[in-house]
Amino acid sequence: MNAPLNIIMPAEASAAPKTYRLLIDGKHVDARDGRTLERKSPGHGFTVSHYAQAGEAEVEAAMQAAHKAFETGPWPRMKAAERAAILLKTADLIEARLEDIARLDALESGKPIAQARGEIGGAVDIWRYAASLARTLHGESYANLGDAMLGVVLREPIGVVSIITPWNFPFLIVSQKLPFALAAGCTAVVKPSEMTSASTFVLGDILMQAGLPAGVVNILAGLGADVGAPMVGHPLVEMVSFTGSTRVGKMTMASAAQSLKKVSMELGGKNGQIVFPDADLEAAADAAVFGGFFNAGECCNAGSRLIVHEAIADDFLAAVKALASRVIVGDPLDDRTKVGAMISSDHLAKVAGYVAAAASDGSSVYSGGKQLASNAGQYLDPTIIRGVTEDMAIAREEVFGPVLSVLTFESIEKALHIANNTPYGLSAGVWSASIDTCMSVARRVRSGTVWVNTFMEGYPELPFGGYKQSGLGRELGKRAVEDYTEEKTIQFHRGQRTGWWVG
Ligand code: NAD
């Protein structure tokens, strides 16, 4: 039996929890009925934050503010260069507060602080990238329609956008959406997860400080049913940008369909890393551990299925197990930690249930599998399950915990079959020294991203999104701003109209 994790209480534990108020029309306000939500640190157990809890009245007020800012405010009408300047200022201000924001995300989500710093740094880069796209967004012109006609296709901001985000990358995910919506000239109502809202409120303050006009971004904390659902159905909203589970994504799409709103959906994943015998096995083993256990496996891109060639399975898995045993699990605020706390005790129980069910389905726990004893918080040992078959729940469903399911193959056809045999299609990895093998897998795997001899790298320049039930549309990349626009075709006729209809 290992010694219990010794979680050290940070200074925040003995200070009063910070209270965050809603941001509506440039003002910080409480909920009309005075309700609040409390967030405890899943890694420490103390209360980190209280948020004013929005309801229907606050959704209505936020929508009216966003609509007014869109219809009559300066934001959609100003020069792209002016919008870009505010996005760049925002990036600078985020960078200046990187440590505070990273600490909030680590405290509220349980993720390791060093990783959180990387995410906020990545977000800064995305805000800067979006600023560059604001200035290069353009439409098309057609001067080939005859001498009397000029066709012009404008890209106009789509309008008010509802942005709904999950808890696993609180600041990074809002930064994959909001700067592009703003670059296009849209206004927005943003709802972070009820478990990790604090850093989004800090972003709201930063945007105001950067000079964003009132009402352009409104931020509501609250529950999915009370706030998220009306944000999707609201008649003033033109587009819904949602990141979260496939289950809620489907409900959101069904609701948005009632008024034919545009949707962008970034949903769940059940991603496979395929390892061939000729790969750099040391690098592949490290990536298997990283893919499985990064962010405690609470990651849409988690490489939760390790698909290994039979010929190397024993030795390779022994190497993976040895590396997994060296992964430091523990206090999210310790710089050395690689796997922090699980988001909630309910979620930990769900993940543990998958592990127990897999064991009774005929697979075996090869490593880990236990909740770790600690003086505070909830932690799960990085877990490897061997002998998993394609029909098991653990091979098909998104477990969303530090659990690596191992499946084996004897041919490339079988490897591809396993990789594609899931309702999801977010990402995949392939490890081989052979360009033929890598290209075959990369071309035939049904997922939005394929990493070849690397795993889970991200760049704002590259589009990201899912095939199948992993989503709809793409974020990031050079078309990210276009997603938040409508196209308007204008036909200019010169001189007297020639093609009379009646005569
Ligand atoms: P979730 O679907 O439970 O919640 C996501 C957001 O939707 C939250 O803000 C929640 O309050 C809100 N919501 C809940 N019910 C709603 C409703 N009826 N109408 C509108 N909004 C509602 O997801 P989660 O547990 O917060 O996050 C984990 C999930 O997110 C995983 O499935 C993960 O794979 C997915 N995810 C996907 C990506 C991606 O880019 N593809 C990235 C991160 C997370």
For 86-128, the pLDDT digits (tens) are 999 999 999 999 999 999 999 999 999 999 999 999 999 999 9
Q: Give the list of residues 6+ apart from residue 315 with CB closer than 8 angstroms, or none.
A: 281
Nearest CA to ligand 1 atom 35: 244
CA of 336 to the centre of ligand 1 (A): 29
CA of 301 to the centre of ligand 1 (A): 14
pLDDT reported for residue 120? 98
For 394-429, the pLDDT digits (tens) are 999 999 999 999 999 999 999 999 999 999 999 999
Phi, psi for residue 47 in degrees, rounded to 5: -80, 120
* Residue given tokens 């039979």 in the structure block: 310
Distance set, CA 212 to CA 148, 205, 208, 218, 342 (Å): 42, 10, 5, 11, 35
d(CA 489, CA 343): 47
SS3 assignment, position 273: strand
193 lines ligand 1 (CB under 6 A): yes
460 lines ligand 1 (CB under 6 A): no
267 lines ligand 1 (CB under 6 A): yes
What band does 498 get if pLDDT is binned at 50, 70 and 90?
A: confident
Q: Give the list of residues 6+ apart from residue 175 with CB closer than 8 angstroms, or none.
A: 122, 123, 126, 127, 203
Is the pTM higher than 0.85? The answer reads yes
d(CA 248, CA 395): 21
Could you tell me the two tokens for 74? 């300066």
Alpha helices in 190-340 (DSSP H): 198-209, 229-233, 246-257, 281-293, 313-325
Phi, psi for residue 315 in degrees, rounded to 5: -65, -40
Maximum Cα–Cα distance across the chain: 94
Nearest CA to ligand 1 atom 19: 229
Distance set, CA 462 to CA 129, 178, 240, 465, 476 (Å): 11, 17, 22, 10, 6
pLDDT reported for residue 298? 98
Atom number, ligand 1, closest to the C-alpha of residue 464: 40
For 54-70, the pLDDT digits (tens) are 999 999 999 999 999 99
Query: Ligand 1: which of 177, 265, 300, 350 to mutate, judged by most atoms within 8 Å of the beta carbon?
Result: 300
pLDDT reported for residue 140? 98
CA of 275 to the centre of ligand 1 (A): 30
For 135-154, the pLDDT digits (tens) are 999 999 999 999 999 999 99
pLDDT reported for residue 1? 54
Percent of the chain with pLDDT over 90: 97
Atom number, ligand 1, closest to the C-alpha of residue 255: 19
d(CA 35, CA 231): 19
Report which of 1, 124, 46, 49 is spatially closest to residue 332, judged by C-alpha positions.
Answer: 46
Could you tell me the two tokens for 175? 């930064």
Nearest CA to ligand 1 atom 15: 224
